[in-house]
Chain A
């Protein structure tokens, strides 16, 4: 709640531009030890005439400013973060230490290969591990994110069909898919055809069969899907897709559930992207950077973006561009700092540890699902789930007028980050819960108890929830106003700030 204490100011709202004084300094340029130059002359008349207005602050003001901002944030280290399909698991500190080693953080992508053998060996080791986990043959580490991996994978599929003299027009996407899937399909110049889900939450096989023809380039499937369900018909699906000459793309967003238990390659997938920031413990960074490596079958290996790391006969590591490569999807080699973290994570856990991750993640999701049985929420598609499950708040809304959004906001008052809400789109008032393996039983029990308490609040006083949250650094924000009167950047006020 607001305070009248004159020394304590709100954590956020005051901009870094509004701190310090014109004379304040933090890091100054080094003393010039070569002859000065006339910038106007050497820059060919392009020297800056009106300098940019940047903050004038001392280091202590910066330190405190960002400490305030950080304390207005919620991360995995802050508390329970059951954000469905995002796998907000704990990010090990040793991974953070590793990526900051000078031998990793201080190397340049254009150094001669013999001067970066350790880095290339790490990348090669990660490629091998991802191939083993996915059940596929070849891996590119270039993509910077899951959506970037989708683009890469789909362009490889496109190049494959084109090389076979069989360009196709359409890509199938289930109605439960993440929005990046259809957006990627459009970027790759394909049409989207939507596949409905069946009553059990899987792909509707009959509908799929009707949609499949020789104009279909691929199906993009998240498995386990965004309902947290492993599609029991997966073999029939990939077989039907292959029967018309199309390829099966696996959105690997939910790989955490099946590590060491099931491999997409064995289920008939030809291509998949892997979100290192979900499955392999690298941090989400407040929105990125992540990494979205792509794994493919032997038949597609030649189309991967270059370069990839190969090990030669004498054990030296080199960079090669695959023969029929689609080309680069970014500059340099990939989000290497993220790759270091993922490699370190995989080595820490080993094969047995990764399998234990999947088992616990799935057990924890099923456990919370059981705790939520016979509550104000209905379990959408009530069967054994994988790493996450979806509750529907449709009944609660009908009975009390309280929406899933209100429940989410009330959870904030209880120190819990809300689950994913209103997704997947096919569930009414959806609340998608992914506990992950890194939460203890007490946390899970506490979460279920909080949800039940919130349901009682909804019955007793819906308004309480509809105005929540109350204890957060700010309360509900005027999002419509943000669009109506856009304020997307601070501007200096004439001479005052300049």
Chain B
């Protein structure tokens, strides 16, 4: 068998030792009605050569970012991934290991997590980062639950400018009635500060926003922070970590919990998953933080070493009283993020952020200049921006796909009130010739 190294002869020996004549005998105590009396109705085994051809054919039926010029964003981005990143995450000692429950033989994973946590603290300005969570959306939902535990309050105020899938995930997580969510519609692509202020009260655990918003705009985090803190609520901020080389960290504006989708830091788009749930908070709240966390300590010989720590918060100890049911993290994506940030360093991260912002600005100006688009909002933006298209968005996108462009994200698919709006993301990978060619095609529409 393909991945079974036991030989037929050995199998016979093993059966004899166990005292049965066939492996099937070992299932004889399974009740008849619960036994499958026919072969599985699945395709026959396929050898590796044919398998590779089949899988390649499936992959070939997708239009990937290498074959078109993409301006799609909305939480998943086509950034450059340095070659060293995959060289590291492809090491079997990293990817075939389990959760580091035996620290003596897991120092590689544990130190990598500690370094990742350190880098996230540097980027966000927060005191503590956990070892990561599933993705930005689930980290956002977990932040609401944590804020509720910290404040012992049971309502959160969420900006309508937050990614709709993050808001939907939050709604699902609290569906059981553990938390009430008040969503405040956005105005002009950002949070409506007055509406947030009037929605906040002494029953509110957190004001929850992202900056950049789903529309790419930047929030007035300072004002929202004051609004939250005046009511005794926490400020939860979703951010984009790849921009934190050029943007002020959320800590500057008083954020109590910072979450993010960390995919831009060295993970491929991969159809949206696996991503990386970044989660960071203040030291004083660590016992309410969800997820695992690595700490530095020493061994019996005085050598520096790393362990999973503060685990009395977690499900394997606390069971139904745990801070979350999560019992994993996206360790491999966190490893990728650590390698990515080491590879680009402070200067590279700032340069990449600056390139994204400058190219986004260049494209936005040029698209508006064609007369086919207009700015939807006045708020400042970083590497993503929303334009209103004067025409049928679906037609425009179909036509430009034929010319080799993924022409942004049609926001009408998320909300009828956003029909006609298109969200463009511009990464450092887009070149001026690509931007100019795109603008030319738009002009020719």
B191-199, B228-236, B292-300 - the one binding chain A:
B292-300
Judge if B144 is at the interface, Cβ distance under 8 Å: no
Q: Are B397 and A112 in contact (CB under 8 A)?
A: yes
Q: Are B169 and A53 in contact (CB under 8 A)?
A: no
Task: Select the residue from A69, A159, A346, A409 with max chain B CB neighbours within 10 A.
Answer: A69
Select which of B299, B322, B324, B331 is within 8 A of A478 by beta carbon.
B299
Which B residue's beta carbon lies closest to that of A185?
B320
Select which of A12, A83, A101 is within 8 A of B304 by beta carbon.
A12
Which A residue's beta carbon lies closest to that of B129?
A489
Select which of B90, B268, B293 is within 8 A of A488 by beta carbon.
B293
Which B residue's beta carbon lies closest to that of A11?
B107
Select which of B87, B248, B273, B379 is within 8 A of A63 by beta carbon.
B87
Select which of B86, B325, B344 is within 8 A of A27 by beta carbon.
B344
Bound complex: CA A230 to CA B163 (Å): 44
Judge if B395 is at the interface, Cβ distance under 8 Å: no
Which B residue's beta carbon lies closest to that of A46?
B248
Q: Are B245 and A286 in contact (CB under 8 A)?
A: no
Q: Are B98 and A88 in contact (CB under 8 A)?
A: yes
Select which of B75, B274, B348, B398 is within 8 A of A338 by beta carbon.
B274
Contact residues, A240-279 vs B (CB, 8 A):
258-263, 266-268
Judge if B392 is at the interface, Cβ distance under 8 Å: no
Query: Would A355 and B177 be within 8 Å (CB), given that A43-B357, A111-B63 are in contact?
Result: no
Q: Are A119 and B62 in contact (CB under 8 A)?
A: yes
CB-defined contacts of B64 to chain A, threshold 8 Å: 102-107
Q: Are B55 and A98 in contact (CB under 8 A)?
A: yes
Q: Are B294 and A69 in contact (CB under 8 A)?
A: no
Which B residue's beta carbon lies closest to that of A471?
B104
Q: Are A27 and B269 in contact (CB under 8 A)?
A: no
Select which of A155, A262, A290 is within 8 A of B34 by beta carbon.
A262
Q: Are A26 and B94 in contact (CB under 8 A)?
A: no
Select which of B80, B301, B307, B339 is within 8 A of A2 by beta carbon.
B301
Contact residues, B265-290 vs A (CB, 8 A):
268-275, 283, 286
Q: Please give the distance in Å from B242's CB to the nearest CB on chain A.
A: 11
Q: Are A363 and B59 in contact (CB under 8 A)?
A: no
Q: Are A440 and B108 in contact (CB under 8 A)?
A: no
Q: Are A91 and B62 in contact (CB under 8 A)?
A: no
Q: Please give the distance in Å from B270's CB to the nearest CB on chain A.
A: 4
Which B residue's beta carbon lies closest to that of A367?
B14
CB-defined contacts of A375 to chain B, threshold 8 Å: none
Select which of A52, A121, A182, A366 is within 8 A of B122 by beta carbon.
A52
Q: Are A105 and B270 in contact (CB under 8 A)?
A: yes
Q: Please give the distance in Å from B22's CB to the nearest CB on chain A.
A: 8
Query: Would A51 and B270 be within 8 Å (CB), given that A147-B325, A327-B175, A350-B43 are in contact?
Result: no
B202-210, B358-366, B368-376 - the one binding chain A:
B358-366
Q: Are B10 and A37 in contact (CB under 8 A)?
A: no
CB-defined contacts of B109 to chain A, threshold 8 Å: 69, 73, 286-287
Select which of A107, A183, A230 is within 8 A of B63 by beta carbon.
A107
CB-defined contacts of A479 to chain B, threshold 8 Å: 297, 307, 309
Judge if A133 is at the interface, Cβ distance under 8 Å: yes
Which A residue's beta carbon lies closest to that of B176?
A189
Q: Are A44 and B218 in contact (CB under 8 A)?
A: yes
Judge if A299 is at the interface, Cβ distance under 8 Å: no
Q: Are A144 and B274 in contact (CB under 8 A)?
A: yes
Task: Select the residue from A11, A75, A90, A185 with max chain B CB neighbours within 10 A.
Answer: A75
Per-position 1/0 for B26-62, Cβ under 8 A of A: 1101110111100111111110100110111111111
Query: Would A286 and B319 be within 8 Å (CB), given that A331-B166, A332-B271, A488-B293 are in contact?
Result: no
Q: Are B325 and A15 in contact (CB under 8 A)?
A: no
Bound complex: CA A110 to CA B273 (Å): 12
Per-position 1/0 for A407-444, Cβ under 8 A of B: 01100100001100001000000000000011111000
Select which of A89, A110, A284, A482 is within 8 A of B296 by beta carbon.
A482
A28-36, A206-214, A393-401, A449-457 - the one binding chain B:
A28-36
Q: Please give the distance in Å from B294's CB to the nearest CB on chain A.
A: 7
Query: Would A110 and B103 be within 8 Å (CB), given that A39-B357, A330-B135 are in contact?
Result: no
Query: Would A482 and B297 be within 8 Å (CB), given that A12-B111, A63-B84, A328-B168 are in contact?
Result: yes
Per-position 1/0 for B7-35, Cβ under 8 A of A: 10011011101110001101101110111
Select which of A267, A332, A351, A417 is within 8 A of B273 by beta carbon.
A332
Select which of B1, B115, B332 is within 8 A of A286 by beta carbon.
B332
CB-defined contacts of B437 to chain A, threshold 8 Å: none
Q: Please give the distance in Å from A203's CB to the nearest CB on chain B.
A: 14
4 nearest A-B pairs in the assembled complex, by CB-CB distance:
A29-B351, A332-B272, A103-B59, A109-B272
Query: Would A337 and B297 be within 8 Å (CB), given that A72-B108, A355-B40 are in contact?
Result: no
CB-defined contacts of B175 to chain A, threshold 8 Å: 155, 158-159, 326-327
Which B residue's beta carbon lies closest to that of A349?
B45
Task: Select the residue from B45, B57, B86, B351 with max chain A CB neighbours within 10 A.
Answer: B45
Q: Are B247 and A46 in contact (CB under 8 A)?
A: yes
Q: Are B346 and A54 in contact (CB under 8 A)?
A: yes
Judge if A166 is at the interface, Cβ distance under 8 Å: no
Q: Are A287 and B100 in contact (CB under 8 A)?
A: yes
CB-defined contacts of A158 to chain B, threshold 8 Å: 175-176
Per-position 1/0 for B306-339, Cβ under 8 A of A: 1101100011111111101111111111010011
Per-position 1/0 for A447-484, Cβ under 8 A of B: 00000000000000000000101001111111101110
CB-defined contacts of B381 to chain A, threshold 8 Å: 42
Judge if B355 is at the interface, Cβ distance under 8 Å: yes
Judge if B157 is at the interface, Cβ distance under 8 Å: no
CB-defined contacts of B152 to chain A, threshold 8 Å: none
Q: Are B30 and A261 in contact (CB under 8 A)?
A: yes
Judge if B401 is at the interface, Cβ distance under 8 Å: yes
Query: Would A56 and B345 be within 8 Å (CB), given that A266-B33, A441-B10, A479-B297 are in contact?
Result: yes
Q: Are A490 and B114 in contact (CB under 8 A)?
A: yes
Q: Are A354 and B40 in contact (CB under 8 A)?
A: yes
Contacts A51-B346, A66-B108 supplied; 19 other A-B pairs, CB < 8 Å: A30-B429, A34-B358, A42-B361, A48-B350, A59-B84, A89-B3, A91-B96, A106-B78, A107-B271, A129-B42, A158-B176, A262-B36, A267-B31, A328-B172, A364-B14, A412-B102, A438-B4, A475-B300, A488-B117
Select which of A52, A108, A116, A288 is within 8 A of B332 by beta carbon.
A288
Judge if B406 is at the interface, Cβ distance under 8 Å: yes
Q: Are A327 and B108 in contact (CB under 8 A)?
A: no
Bound complex: CA A479 to CA B138 (Å): 29
Select which of A119, A338, A362, A409 is within 8 A of B23 by beta carbon.
A362
